[in-house]
Amino acid sequence: MTTIDELAVHGIECFGYHGVFEFERREGQTFVIDLVLGLDTSAAAATDDLHQTVHYGTLVADVKAAVERDPVDLIETLAQRIADVVLLENRVQWVRVTVHKPDAPIEATFRDVALTITRANGGRDRD
């Protein structure tokens, strides 16, 4: 039986130039990323070996780089890009990505705009 554990990293702050408006592309803004990964950590626990699990320091650097590279219009596109980066790690069976855009250009008082997607290795959504 395969064990599915969850590894979470919340609040990854990145600066990007994403958005549909020209001023968003010019000035940029902060994006905050939350990740939850489904993986089997039993081998890592048994061996106490980092090579048997996901190195979350490297993972965070890869996600940050994905957010900070070429701009896209939609947070939906950005979330998919992040999921694709995380799923390059074969140990990850599925990932839940939340992209927060706390400074979204909305003419109202609000705390956050966030999109959450879940993707599985092999391109299938998690059941």
The residues carrying an active-site annotation are 101
The Cα 97–Cα 108 span in angstroms is: 26
Give me 76's structure tokens. Answer: 């939906």
Give me 34's structure tokens. Answer: 């939350």
Spell out the alpha helix ranges (H) of 48-124: 56-68, 75-86
User: 81, 91, 106, 107: which is closest to 56 by C-alpha?
Assistant: 91
SS3 38: strand
Q: What is the DSSP letter of 33?
A: E
How many CB atoms lie under 10 A from the CB of residue 15?
11
